[in-house]
Each structure stands twice: as structure tokens, then as C-alpha cells.
């Protein structure tokens, strides 16, 4: 990374998702501001990254599930890396257990901060975390943005045959060494 940024890690990855509801609304409220910042970043990033891969109608559908509630749920069941410039969230990336697999999810960098190595940093931190807990493979359900797909390929991911139907996404996999 080119500048000094503040890095935050949140580790709810090992927690049982069913146990999250027993923590009550206060636990979710703790992450409300962060969820708002992440949701805004994700929606902005989807719009900025569309290189013609999706029609405007498809973009509306893709963004429809990027809600505050969905982001809160993701935070409380994931490992999360956040990068801040002062108080401004400029990049983030999650790890989540899903369908018996480990997934890297929602890698987003604010358009004004691209090209500074933030995405590379987040990928490295997520993979180091997975290795530290003994995980040997990680999956990504990637949007069909060509730059995004090429980024993941440069990091050792390859396109995998989906194990379930995917609409508007491709499945990628990496074996961690």
C-alpha cells in the first residue's frame, strides 16, 4: 500500500451462525455504522466497476440484495478486513463459510483509491487467516466484471464448475499452499 492507512480486522468467522441470533439486537447494532459504510461502498463499487458486463436492469437486480441487513448479517458471521483513510472506509473484504465451503466475499475498493495495492493487501490477509486456521481451499462467487476476473486469476484463482446454479456470477477456486 502506498500510504499509511488504518487496518481493522473483525473475526466472527469461527462463530456459529445460529448462535448469532442469541446475542440479540445489540450485537447487530454494534455493527450498524460499519454496515452502512460497507453497503455504500459495495453499491458504489458495483456501479463503478461495470464495464458493460451487465445491463442497467441487471445492475439494479445485483444491487437489490446489497442491503444494510444483508451486510450486518455478513459482518456477524465473517472474518472482515477493513481499510480506512482517516474515518473513511476505502476498502473491505470478507471471508464466510457457505455451503460447507470457505468463500472470499465482497472485495471492494473505493474507485478513488484503486491502484494502491489495497485489494492485493486484503487478499493476502484473508488467505493468511485461512491458512492459520487450517483451511486449504477458498472459493469466490465473482461478478462477471472482466477486470475482477483477471485480478482473481492473477492471485491463483481459476474458474470452477459451479456446484449450484449461479445467476450473474462465476465460481472461482484457489488451493492455498
Confidence of residue 86 (pLDDT cuts 50, 70, 90): very high
Asked whether residue 142 is domain-assigned, the answer is no
Which among 82, 59, 63, 66 has a CA at the least distance from the CA of 10?
A: 82
pLDDT, residue 27, reads 58
Asked if residue 20 is part of any domain, the answer here is yes
Q: Give the whole-angstrom CA distance, residue 27 versus residue 89.
A: 21
Kind and range of the H or E element at 69?
helix 68-75
For residue 89, tell me if it sits in a domain. yes
Backbone dihedral angles phi then psi of residue 168, each to the nearest 5 degrees: 70, 15
Q: Please give the angle made by the CA atoms of 146, 9 and 77, to the nearest 5 degrees.
A: 80
For residue 87, give every residue at least 6 positions away whose Cβ sits within 8 Å of its Cβ, in sequence order, or none: none
Backbone angles phi, psi at 42, to 5 degrees: -60, -50
Residue 154 lies in a domain: no
Count each helix (H run) and each strand (E run) in the chain, helices first: 7, 7
CA distance 60 to 75: 23
Q: Is residue 155 part of a domain?
A: no
What is the residue range of 88's domain?
Answer: 6-135
Nearest partner of 89 among 123, 50, 43, 147, judged by Cα: 43
Assess whether pLDDT exceeds 60 at residue 19: no
Confidence band for 22, pLDDT divided at 50, 70 and 90: low
pLDDT digits (tens, 9 = 90+) for 30-76: 788 999 999 999 888 887 776 676 677 877 777 777 888 889 888 98
Domain tally for the chain? 1
Residue 168 lies in a domain: no
- Report the pLDDT value the prediction gives residue 50, as an integer from 0 to 100: 67
**Does any domain span residue 172?**
no
Query: What does the pLDDT look like over 151-167, one tens digit per residue?
Result: 999 999 999 998 888 87
| pLDDT per residue as tens digits for the range 107-147 | 999 999 999 999 999 999 999 999 999 999 999 998 888 88
Q: What is the pTM of this model?
A: 0.85
Residue 149 forms part of a structural domain: no
Amino acid at each position: 500500500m502506498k500510504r499509511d492507512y488504518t487496518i481493522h480486522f473483525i473475526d466472527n468467522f469461527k462463530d456459529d451462525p445460529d448462535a448469532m441470533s442469541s446475542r440479540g439486537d445489540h450485537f447487530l447494532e454494534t455493527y450498524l455504522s460499519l454496515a452502512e459504510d460497507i453497503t455504500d461502498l459495495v453499491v458504489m463499487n458495483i456501479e463503478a466497476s461495470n464495464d458493460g458486463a451487465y445491463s442497467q436492469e441487471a445492475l439494479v437486480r445485483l444491487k437489490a440484495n446489497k442491503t444494510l441487513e444483508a451486510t450486518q448479517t455478513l459482518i456477524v458471521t465473517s472474518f472482515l478486513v477493513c481499510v480506512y483513510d482517516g474515518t473513511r472506509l476505502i476498502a473491505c473484504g470478507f471471508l464466510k463459510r457457505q455451503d460447507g465451503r470457505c468463500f472470499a466475499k465482497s472485495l471492494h475498493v473505493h474507485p478513488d483509491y484503486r491502484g494502491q495495492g489495497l485489494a492485493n493487501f486484503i487478499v493476502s490477509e484473508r488467505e493468511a487467516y485461512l491458512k492459520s486456521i487450517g483451511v486449504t481451499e477458498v472459493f469466490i462467487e465473482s461478478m462477471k466484471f472482466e477486470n475482477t476476473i483477471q485480478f482473481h486469476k492473477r492471485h491463483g484463482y481459476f474458474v470452477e464448475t459451479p456446484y449450484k446454479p449461479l445467476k450473474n456470477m462465476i465460481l472461482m477456486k484457489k488451493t492455498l499452499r
